[in-house]
Structure 1
């Protein structure tokens, strides 16, 4: 894209108020997976947080697809008391080990806001943990006697023995906190502090399965790299970052630097520690070379070591996982799919006008060929007998199978004619004359497609318009019905051949040229540009509001249906190239909306100073919205990611 067409950065945030469901996907914002220390650390435990979890019950947290493997945030705690005032609508999982100072009988107490559960295992085994105490509603901070369920039965603990525990906590709105206290031999009721806590571990200390996995990966790496066999286990890890030294060396990391375990040298959204656990390569963002980066595969539950899953269809929407990734649509959401390309019809789109210079657009029709000898007849009703003009638009695909071939395009017209091949004017005789032939050659590669535009005007008396195509090397006539296709203008699509901000289907339908940038031109007496007409949802010739949904939208007051919905957004502060943009440089916004996320055919223009718009009377069902911003020079941003709202 040239500097003159540099687009604005899209709106930073798009939100819906009202009866809504928020849908937003940005793969690069997915949180990294957690990497715990290799060995259990004394004095700390880890709290895992999941954001944007509605509801008051722990079950609302557990139901999340990302629970428990992919939290949004991990922090360390030095006591079993979580921070208060953290926010709303989140869930927490705390896990680690408790070690009793002396053998004896202990009781545990839990408090929290909202529902909070305390789980304890009779050993270090995670799978043996059971829920022993719960806050079914909410309590004040460190209030341990509101519900009888907050206190556990007596537990016999042995000195020096570690016991696995979990705290499961769900916050809705209002106050937020959780804490676990205990009492036992020589201990009055008190919050369990650091001296009795130990963190979980990633490495061999966690169990036989993890140790076996680590040993297998060590053997595979050392063997594939031809390294000497080392019987020591666990393998040497001089910086204690959980990545054994040979692995770091092979993957270009520093075995003496513990900080590189959380780096991401290959920018695949997985840290070095994550790559080590998954068996992926730290210096190759796409280990299985299937076109989908390792981090994206892991985030969507695919296997970054299996190239076959790129051709699978996780959400059964008819598009492969690779196609969805390439189109930046959600691999696991059947409603978010790549936009289909335009539908093509055989032949040309014929745009018919009054006047010899395309003075007033009358109508269009699909013409399979340009082979007309109208004589003294009119081409169709509403088109005058004399003084009319036609623009035919199509795309020619070379039928030969190899190399390049010259094709001769011959026009026969009475009167004027202009022919454009691959956006170059090759015939230009805009004069009155009887039936006359003009020819031009063009070289086209095998299977290549070029746009073909023929313009014609009729003055008076007889009228003829013919286009023939010939293979110069064989002198064979090429059937236009087999080689010419045109975009179906009745099906909205975002394809924009001339990159002028107006989709081809809209330009074809309303008498504009889809292969020549004519956005700044005006075909009406008021000086409203074609682009302004498109963005405002009006006919560019008559400026009448369009209500058929194929090109724009009627004013919001003309929509009938359900309750008001407010769309709000934040203004961009910079352009794609990083330069700043002042609010005074924003001319307006264009909201695209509809009930098919793949075809948002209706639009609403909103002036630059505004950052919200109310849609009143949308019909029932699910509506989808995107927004783009247009600056005072007419440059436009890409569409934002869609949001949706459900109208009851």
Structure 2
């Protein structure tokens, strides 16, 4: 039986606007005449900061005696997009030249918080600059339509000319940012980047000197590498042919799907990795692959984070030594270069109880963890899972029960039915203590619970010899009805990276469940090995607390595949690994954490589920009785986003 292809729900996407490089320097470190360079330089503009100024209007900056020649700080921008949250009570001035890619009409847009003005001259002279667009108070970042004044009228520009411009910006308090975008012949609105910018200088002459020996070597190397890889004929001419003069030689453009006769595509980003084609050419990444080294981090993000987009090994590194890999930080939206930014991993819960299985009556040697849902097992004289003994084992089930009634307090009856030892803990209090060899029997516990207030529930059972049986039910004594535990009990997902720590012992719940510890009892100081290593020390060192084996890479097997007995009623479910998310974005196999197979005897009530590891595409499931069974599959990605279930399919079990 096969299940149709499924697609993940779209998760959070970390947007990086262009390839912004950001450098600042203190104006006091510069010689007196450095504020205005002698010669204009391409690819960037300078931004002058005036600090400790009250008010949120531009005039609060321009009326100061130090404006514009004596700023407190000078920085450089490689696109007209000031990074957010520099601070408060300051003003900024950007001035330089814009040179359009082709001749025609251009419309300019500004956004900013607080007042932001864009001035443009009809030539390279500052004297002709007039205000053409503005944000009178504040707008959201990249919000260009809050005020009609944010868009200029059409501006006729010549591709052979440079035009002087200024951005005047004033921040009062709170959020701070500004952005200038444009649209023109052949392209829609985009942030103005360094391809069209030149620094303001005493002369607008740009350095057009011949390519240096180092530059020629670099270009020649890249040309030779590409042509050799693609099996193209060797050509001796240098520089290589570049018909549209966009800095990308023709062979590279053809190989990467660009047009060697269209200069504007040098600033395009066909593969959506936040790097323009010109940047990809210089860096050596592929324009047709947003993740050239296939390490889970887009090329543009790696470049922005000062990583190597051609080295897959750096995704697993921890650049800021905060305990999270570079890939973890990218997926969480935090900076891998700042130890102060730590991923906040949301609590990830699964329906029902999580079971931990051990060899020995007293949880002597941890074996495995699995999501059991409800506690309702009759193993008879068999083993609870493949590889475990049929006698002399113990199990701990953990979960959080939320009373389903809607108001007031209701008395609930907990019914523990076992063969051999039984214990029950509610909110950490041992309320059933029947830890002895005995045939099948029941223990009861009554308690009044308030509506909507969850309580932790832990049930323990050991099997000595003979038959093995364990069941927990909860009844509402006002109705004498059993509670649906799959809808009222949840437990931490043992495979998640959540930082939830219910018992405050320094070890996350998910890690404790995954490696055989108690999530609801502070057991960090206990020792489960012969080397004297405490549970907390094992966690901090990435070691299994029982065997002290390295578990950083997830070497402990969760939910080992049981081998059904010969007469078992089984169904093998198979599926196809998805290649895209529901929003059409690509999904690599490395982004799939696991699968979940849901099943039941009604297509609309798939109450049972079992996990499957990401390397599987089929799983054999043992069902309890004959008849028609229904199945669906979901996908869980590395950020713990779970997809919608696939289409439901059925199988007749005889």
Q: TM-score, normalised by structure 2?
A: 0.39
Larger Rg: 1
